[in-house]
Structures are given as C-alpha cells and as structure tokens.
C-alpha cells in the first residue's frame, strides 16, 4: 500500500460539480492499494501518517505531527500510485488491487484514521474527482507499507 502525503493549508474534492469533501490545514493523502495488501498495511500506514513529524515548529524545523497540530485528513483513493512504467509508453496497473478489494481496504484506512480522533474527509471511491490542493511548503512525502516488511 502506498500513501502520497501532501501538507496543505486546505483542500477539497469535487465529484460531478458537488464538493464531497473539504478540509482546512492538514494532509491530503492519496492511497494506492496493491494486490498483496492487507489490513495490517492499512494499520501501518495510518499510524505512520498520524505520527510523522512534517509540520514546522517556530524555527521552521519539522517537529510536529498532524496529531500534534490537530490537523485534518483528506483521504483519496488513487490506484495510479501503483503504475508500472518500466515497459512501453502506457502504464500498467496489474499490481493494483481489484476494485472490490481495494475499496474494502480503503475503507479500512478511513476507519483507522477516524479512530485517531482526527477530522477525516474523503473523496468518492472509483469516481472521477477534481482535487483542489493548497500545498503548504510544498511538502510531499511517499510512504510504502512494503518498507515495514
């Protein structure tokens, strides 16, 4: 499971002209779910996301986590994080979990994130979304649950 974190001052997700999710300062997290991912991957990533110290203190040093600043999370499913571009000119997504399994695990990520007490918003699974991000920094970090193995 991969998570691409972007520190933001605010963000929103629009589906068919309707805002379906909106946050203030915090993190937008794009989640890519692979064929071999499990509930443990979801738990690992959420723990890492809420504890990662990527918010600046008064001197500009990364010292605070999203939990420390009481920030908000926007979780967006994004299978394209699993793109394999090694061959040809068109990415392959064979490493991405099938939609049913990916949705189940994405929902696990959402439930684990909600259990942290943070405010959590989401996009809509398997929908065309327009994500507006007000990047802060910019700070963008890629996490991969394979790193724990």
Q: How many CB atoms lie within 10 A of CB 117?
A: 10
The verdict on whether 140 is a catalytic residue reads: no
Q: Is 88 left (phi over 0), alpha (psi -120 to 50) or beta?
A: left
Q: Which string of b and e fits 68-81 if b means at least 16 CB within 10 Å? A: eeebbbbbbbbbeb
The active-site residue, picked from 9, 80, 85, 94, is 80
Which stretch of DSSP H or E encloses residue 124? none
Query: Does a cis peptide bond (omega within 30 degrees of 0) precede residue 138?
Result: yes
Supply the residues annotated as catalytic: 80
């Amino acid at each position: 499971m991969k998570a691409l974190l972007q520190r933001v001052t605010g963000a929103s997700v629009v589906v068919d002209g309707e805002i379906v999710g909106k946050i203030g300062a915090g993190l937008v997290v794009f989640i890519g779910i692979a064929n071999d991912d499990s509930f443990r991957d979801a738990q690992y990533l959420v723990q890492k996301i809420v504890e990662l110290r990527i918010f600046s203190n008064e001197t500009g040093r990364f010292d605070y986590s999203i939990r420390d600043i009481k920030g908000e999370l926007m979780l967006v499913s994004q299978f394209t994080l699993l793109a394999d571009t090694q061959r040809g000119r068109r990415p392959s997504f064979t490493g991405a979990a099938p939609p049913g399994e990916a949705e189940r695990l994405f929902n696990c990520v959402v439930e684990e994130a909600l259990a942290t007490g943070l405010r959590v918003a989401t996009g809509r699974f398997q929908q065309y979304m327009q994500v507006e991000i007000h990047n802060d920094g910019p700070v963008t970090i890629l996490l991969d649950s394979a790193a724990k193995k």
